[in-house]
Amino acid sequence: MTNPTSCMNDIFGLTACYSSSLSTLQQQDVSMVMNLVNIERHNARALLMHHRWKMDRIHDFLERRGREGLFREARIVVPPEDSSTAARARAPPHKRPRTVTCNVCFEDVSRPSDVSTMDCGHCFCNDCWTEHFFASLGNGKKHIHCMQVKCPAICDDATVRRLLGRKYPDAAKRFDNLVLDSYLDNNASVKWCPSAPHCGRAIRVVDASERYCEVECPCGVSFCFNCAAPAHSPCPCPMWDKWDAKFRGESENLKWIAVNTKSCPKCLRPIEKNGGCNHVSCPCGQHLCYACGGRLDTLHNCNRYDEAGHANYDSIRRQMLRYTHYCDRFNVHVNSRTAEQTQLWPAIQKRAVLLESATAIRPLIREASWMARAHRALLASRLVLARSYAFAYYMFGDEVRTYPSEKANLPIAKVLFEDQQWQLEENAEKLSKVLATEAKPVLAEEEVLRAMQETSNLAKIVDTHCREIYKCIQDELLPLLLEPMTIAPRPDGPDKAKDLAY
C-alpha cells in the first residue's frame, strides 16, 4: 500500500532540475533566440531576461515591431556584422591597429591580444576590463555593461569569463553562478525549491501561466509556485502572507490560544485529546467538541463566529477574541492532521497488512487501497479546513476591501461559506472516527465490506465538500474583492514534480 501523499497527478508538466540540467535548459533557450534573431549569446540571454524567458513574448514583439524594434525595446546593442566581435577577431593582423590607447588607464597597448572590444565598438585594455568585470560582480550585476559612460552595450560572456579566469578564477565561477541564477530570478516558469538545507533542485512548470499551482519537490517539500511559501490553498497568497506573519508574531503573546486542553463544560476538568477526532468525552460522561469546548448535541455548530456574543467587549478585546476564534480552529485542524498522520496512518498500515494476508477473505475484498485513499482524503480535508479559517479571518474582517456594490452581499456569502465549511468539518470528523475504528484488526468479511463501503462513501463526501469550498472561494468570494486574488485550482494537494535526467 502506497503512502497517501505519493499519488498526486502531474497535470502541469512539472519537472525537478539540478543545476546541471538547468544550465542545459538555459542554453537551449538561448540557442533558440540566437538562431531566431541572429545575435550572439550574451545578447540573446539579455533579451530572454528582459522578457522573463518567455519565448511567446519574444515572438510577439518580433512580429509586431520587427528585429530592430525588439532590440530597441530591450536596450540591446547589436553591431553590424562587419564590426562584430567575431568579425574583428577574424581580421588579418595587418588590418588591426598597431597601438591602442586605453581611455581608462591611458596606457598604450601594442599587442592586439591585450585589448578587447565589445559589440558597441568601445575598446579598452584587458587589465581595465578585468577590474571592471570584478567590480561589477561585487555589486551582484547579472548584466555587465560596457565601461564607456552611458553605453548600454552588454559585455560578451566569453570575454568576461576568459579575463576573470586569468586573474580572479573564483570570480569567474561566481559569474557562471550569476548567469544560471538569472535563469531562475527572471523566469516565471522556474523556481528554486525552498527546502532548508537546500536540496539543490529547482521546479520547472511547462505552462508559466499556471503560476498559482502548488508543487511538491522530490525532496518532499510542498510550496506555492507563485509566492514560494509553504502550500496554503485555498487561502490566496496575500492573505496567507498576512496570516503567517500575524500567526508567528502573536504566538508568544497569545499562548492561551494554543493550549493543549479544553475544560469540560460540565465539571470543568481539563480534557486532553488523544488522536485526531474532535469528538471527545470527559470521565464525568459529558461529550464535548474539542474545537470549541462546547457541549455536543444535535444542534451543535461551532464553525460560525458569533459576533453578537461578544458585542459588549471593547474593540481591541473583540479583535483579539475574533483572531483567537480563527487561530484556535486553525490549530485544531493542523494538530488533528498531525495526529492522523503520525498515529492513525501506522495503524492503518498494520490493518492493511493483516487484511491482505487474510486468505479466508475474497481477494477483491482483501485489497486494502481504499483505506489509503480515505486517509489521503482526510489529510487533504484537514489542510483545507485549517487554511479556510485563515482565509475567513481576512475575507470577513476589515483587512481587505470589497467593491462598494458588493458589500451588501458579503454577509450572505459569509453564511453560505460557513455552511459549506461546517459540512466539511462534520464529515471530516466522521471519517476520522471511522478510520480510527476500522484501523483495529477485525477481519470478518462482512465487517470489512461494511467498513469499505462506509469509509469510501465518507471519503467521496469529504472530497466533494473540499471542492465545493474551493469553488465557493474562487468563484463566489474572491470576485467581491477590489484586489485581484486567486488560489491553486486543486483541493487534493500539490502536484508532484519528477526529476529531470539529462
CATH at residue 155: 3.30.40.10
Q: What is the pLDDT of residue 82?
A: 43
Q: Is 474 helix (H, G, I), strand (E, B) or coil?
A: helix
Neighbour count for residue 85 (Cβ, 10 Å): 18
Q: Does position 256 have pLDDT exceeding 50, yes or no?
A: no
Determine how β-strand 287-289 pairs with β-strand 279-281: antiparallel
- 372 and 456 together in one domain: yes
Read off the pLDDT band of 446 (50, 70, 90).
confident
- 246 and 377 together in one domain: yes
* Helix 157-167 vs helix 169-185: crossing angle, to nearest 10: 150
Write down the mean pLDDT value for the chain.
83
Q: Which three cell numbers stand for residue 35?
A: 538562431
> Worst-scoring range by mean pLDDT, 51-55, 480-484, 497-501?
497-501
- 317 and 430 together in one domain: yes
Domain boundary, last residue among 167, 190, 216: 167
In a domain, 428, yes or no: yes
Q: The domain containing residue 327 runs over which residues?
A: 237-261+303-486
Rounded to an integer, the average pLDDT of 64-84 is 78
Q: What is the pLDDT of residue 268?
A: 62
- 140 and 245 together in one domain: no
Q: What is the pLDDT of residue 269?
A: 66
From CA 69, how far away is CA 82, in angstroms rounded?
21
Q: What is the pLDDT of residue 304?
A: 72
Q: What is the pLDDT of residue 433?
A: 93
- 357 and 480 together in one domain: yes
Rounded to an integer, the average pLDDT of 61-70 is 90
Question: Looking at the 3D structure of the chain, how many domains does it have?
Answer: 2
- 479 and 391 together in one domain: yes
Rounded to an integer, the average pLDDT of 371-378 is 94
Read off the pLDDT band of 16 (50, 70, 90).
confident
In a domain, 248, yes or no: yes
Q: Which three cell numbers stand for residue 49?
A: 531576461
Read off the pLDDT band of 191 (50, 70, 90).
confident
From CA 221, how far away is CA 196, in angstroms rounded?
9
Q: Does position 309 have pLDDT exceeding 60, yes or no?
A: no
Q: What is the pLDDT of residue 11?
A: 40
Spatial strand order of the sheet with 214-216 comes to 222-224, 214-216, 495-496
Read off the pLDDT band of 284 (50, 70, 90).
confident
Kindly report, residue by residue over 321-333, the tens digit of the pLDDT. Answer: 788 899 999 999 9
In a domain, 494, yes or no: no
In a domain, 124, yes or no: yes
Read off the pLDDT band of 315 (50, 70, 90).
low
- 307 and 448 together in one domain: yes
Q: What is the pLDDT of residue 243?
A: 94
Taking CA atoms, 30 is separated from 155, 160, 184, 331, 417, in Å, by 16, 18, 14, 48, 48
More confident residue, 479 or 249: 479
Q: Does position 79 have pLDDT exceeding 60, yes or no?
A: yes
In a domain, 359, yes or no: yes
From 17, 102, 128, 277, active-site residue = 277
Nearest to 253 by CA among 330, 326, 331, 324: 324
Q: Assess contact for 337 and 5: CB atoms under 8 A.
A: no
* Helix 345-356 vs helix 369-395: crossing angle, to nearest 10: 160
Kindly report, residue by residue over 119-146, the tens digit of the pLDDT. Answer: 888 999 999 999 999 999 988 777 899 9
Rounded to an integer, the average pLDDT of 277-285 is 82
Q: Does position 370 have pLDDT exceeding 60, yes or no?
A: yes
Domain boundary, last residue among 147, 167, 187: 167
Is 7 one of the annotated active-site residues of the chain? no
Q: What is the pLDDT of residue 96?
A: 53
More confident residue, 484 or 354: 484
Taking CA atoms, 331 is separated from 113, 268, 324, 326, 395, in Å, by 68, 22, 10, 9, 19
In a domain, 7, yes or no: no
How large a percentage of the chain has pLDDT more than 70?
83
- 309 and 440 together in one domain: yes
From CA 471, how far away is CA 487, in angstroms rounded?
10
> Worst-scoring range by mean pLDDT, 99-103, 414-418, 498-502?
498-502
> Worst-scoring range by mean pLDDT, 266-270, 448-452, 487-491?
266-270
Q: What is the pLDDT of residue 251?
A: 55
- 243 and 146 together in one domain: no
In a domain, 96, yes or no: yes
Rounded to an integer, the average pLDDT of 144-168 is 92
Rounded to an integer, the average pLDDT of 296-324 is 67
In a domain, 497, yes or no: no
Rounded to an integer, the average pLDDT of 19-27 is 84
Q: Does position 386 have pLDDT exceeding 90, yes or no?
A: yes
Q: What is the CATH number of the domain that holds 407?
A: 1.20.120
More confident residue, 269 or 141: 141
- 147 and 242 together in one domain: no
From CA 381, how far away is CA 466, in angstroms rounded?
6
Q: Does position 250 have pLDDT exceeding 50, yes or no?
A: yes
More confident residue, 87 or 363: 363
- 243 and 100 together in one domain: no
Q: Does position 108 have pLDDT exceeding 60, yes or no?
A: yes
DSSP tag of 48:
H
- 425 and 338 together in one domain: yes
Determine how β-strand 214-216 pairs with β-strand 222-224: antiparallel
